[in-house]
Structure 1
Amino acid sequence: MSEILWIIVSGLLMSAIALTGSITLLLKKETLHKVMIPLVAFAAGCLIGGAFFHMIPAGLAYSGISLGFFVWIVLGFCSFFALEQLLHWQHCHRTGSDSKQPLGYMILAADALHNLLGGLAIGGTFLIDIKLGITAWLAAAAHEVPQELGDFAVLIHSGWSNRNALLFNLLSGLTFLAGSLMAYLFAEQIDVTFLLPLAAGNFLYIGASDLVPEVNKQDSDTNNWVYFIAFLVGILLMLLFKILFEL
């Protein structure tokens, strides 16, 4: 199979992983309500762990330690702060029936950027070596499954219907294919290394400034440790993937 076919097939399969969130639809409403906040905490752990264990190390490997690298992280953080303020403003001035919280849009934007970046990286890997590309794809897929479960929970928690959450999660996942095709079409003509720290800043903002406070708003004292453990599981899972796939 040619490089372009590997890139297209792997991109479509990665996009389909966005549908793993539908697993939560098999749960009863009462059960879903009980697991929702732990999943939000889990998503926060995945995002923060992904930033510290994946995006930042990869960016440093490409760019080296420099002030500019950390400036891009701060810009990524600030850009999503500005985007959220805009979404809050629009939300407050809507007169229609759209009750979706800005958090849902934020998670989709971050996921789309993450998938685009992953597509660029893995598409380029396929161009170097098919076997290496398959290995990189498997590592990315293992990283995506738990994150997509958490992302779907965040969308539902933000007021999205099940159907729209699945649809827009899938559309967000298709940016992985777009990134892979960009890598193939432009090959060595583009330098996207700045996107790594930019995405890390996005992840840190959403995880620490949106999702963690969302969990902290809960009043149930008995479940506080459950939420914290779910958060730690997300972080440790990202660390585990980092260790396993670098052996």
Structure 2
Amino acid sequence: MNLLLLIIVFTALGGVLSVLAAALFLLLPDRLRNHVLPHGISFAIGALLAVSFWGLIPHAFEEVAPEQFRGLSATILAGILIFFVLEKLLIWRHCHFNACEAHGEETQDHDHGSLLHSHGHRHSAGALIIVGDSIHNFVDGILIAAAFLTDPKLGMVTSLAVAAHEIPQEVGDFAILLHNGYTKRKALAYNILSSLATVLGGMLAYFSLEDLDHILPYILALAASSFIYVAVADLIPTLHRKTELKDSLEQIALIAAGVLLICAMHGIAHSFEG
């Protein structure tokens, strides 16, 4: 299949379909939805970590000479620190203008699944949610395209990891928009429009990155740092709020399931390639 078509299909999978899945998820009764969502977060952690350490980082190092290894490692470290600073600035902005407490509202929104940018404070404008999510989706599209340009099978598992962490985030975005007075129809329409930024980012990356092979390993390293940061800084802390042994075992099992699925997908892609 044409590489550009693959990028379009899988960026749509990571964007539009995750919005539709989140919309269906919102149809569940509140009690059931609140019970299921943490399980999805556990699975997303495993998927994000596996695609980073099993796929993106090894492929990035395979594409460069040994003398560039230190530079790639520095890129991963810098990426994690940059994402921390960006999220910190965004949280500060919301709290500065909305007078939120240091921890209270921020924690509430992570429970609803707005996981990457922490843009879901209860008094935030709906438009800010949509704009912030569009930027996030655009970057996801670039990362997926970069993975495909390196190796199609890596692109497939990367898009799966993007979808895994997008679904709980989109659930959070829906909840915030509805809280800010949007109808369900408008919230769905705006989220779908926002998700199209993933496809746009993938297409632009295809045309601009195809002849820039020397920077692809560094983009993969940044993608890995993004996924690692989301998993470790945003998702894992939400799991620690449940301390019962049964909950902990379920979390471990679902994280392992996310890891195994990504590894299995990688193996299947290898077998098709062979």
Regarding TM over 0.5, the answer is yes
The residue aligned with 1:10 is 9
TM-score normalised to structure 2 length: 0.69
Residues 46-57 of structure 1: pairs in structure 2 closer than 5 A: 46-57=47-58
**Compared with structure 1, are the counterparts of its residues 85 and 186 closer, same or farther at alpha carbon in structure 2 (3 Å cutoff)?**
closer
The residue aligned with 2:117 is 106
> Do residues 94 (structure 1) and 97 (structure 2) align?
yes
1:17, 1:141 within 8 Å by CA — same for their partners in 2? Answer: no
Displacement of 1:195:
1.1
- CA root-mean-square deviation: 3.6
Deviates more, 1:39-48 or 1:221-230: 221-230
Displacement of 1:56:
0.8
SS in 2 for 1:27: coil
2:47, 2:259 within 8 Å by CA — same for their partners in 1? Answer: yes
The residue aligned with 2:87 is 84
The residue aligned with 1:33 is 34
The residue aligned with 1:58 is 59
Displacement of 1:181:
3.1
Deviates more, 1:69-78 or 1:216-225: 216-225
**5+ unaligned residues in a row in structure 1: which ranges?**
126-131
- What's the CA shift string for 1:181-204, capped at 9, x where partnerless? 332256315633311111211211
Matched to 2:223, the amino acid is: A
Deviates more, 1:164-173 or 1:181-190: 164-173
Q: Distance in 2 between matches of 1:211 and 1:70?
A: 23
Residues 52-201 of structure 1: pairs in structure 2 closer than 5 A: 52-65=53-66, 66-95=69-98, 101=109, 104-106=115-117, 108=133, 112-122=138-148, 124=149, 142-153=160-171, 155=173, 159=176, 161=178, 164=187, 167-168=190-191, 171-172=194-195, 174-184=197-207, 187-189=210-212, 191-201=215-225
Match 2:260 to one of 207, 231, 236: 236
The residue aligned with 2:44 is 43
Deviates more, 1:43-52 or 1:185-194: 185-194
1:48, 1:235 within 8 Å by CA — same for their partners in 2? Answer: yes
Displacement of 1:151:
3.6
**5+ unaligned residues in a row in structure 2: which ranges?**
119-132, 179-183
Deviates more, 1:32-41 or 1:214-223: 214-223
Q: Distance in 2 between matches of 1:152 and 1:228?
A: 24
2:144, 2:155 within 8 Å by CA — same for their partners in 1? Answer: no
The one of the two structures with greater contact order (alpha-carbon pairs below 8 A, sep at least 6) is: 1
**Compared with structure 1, are the counterparts of its residues 47 and 239 closer, same or farther at alpha carbon in structure 2 (3 Å cutoff)?**
same
SS in 1 for 2:97: coil
- Identical pairs, percent: 20
Deviates more, 1:63-72 or 1:14-23: 14-23
Matched to 1:215, the amino acid is: L
Q: Distance in 2 between matches of 1:208 and 1:167?
A: 29
Aligned residue pairs total: 236
2:116, 2:169 within 8 Å by CA — same for their partners in 1? Answer: no
Displacement of 1:82:
0.8
Residues 201-240 of structure 1: pairs in structure 2 closer than 5 A: 201-240=225-264
Matched to 2:23, the amino acid is: S
**Compared with structure 1, are the counterparts of its residues 52 and 194 closer, same or farther at alpha carbon in structure 2 (3 Å cutoff)?**
same
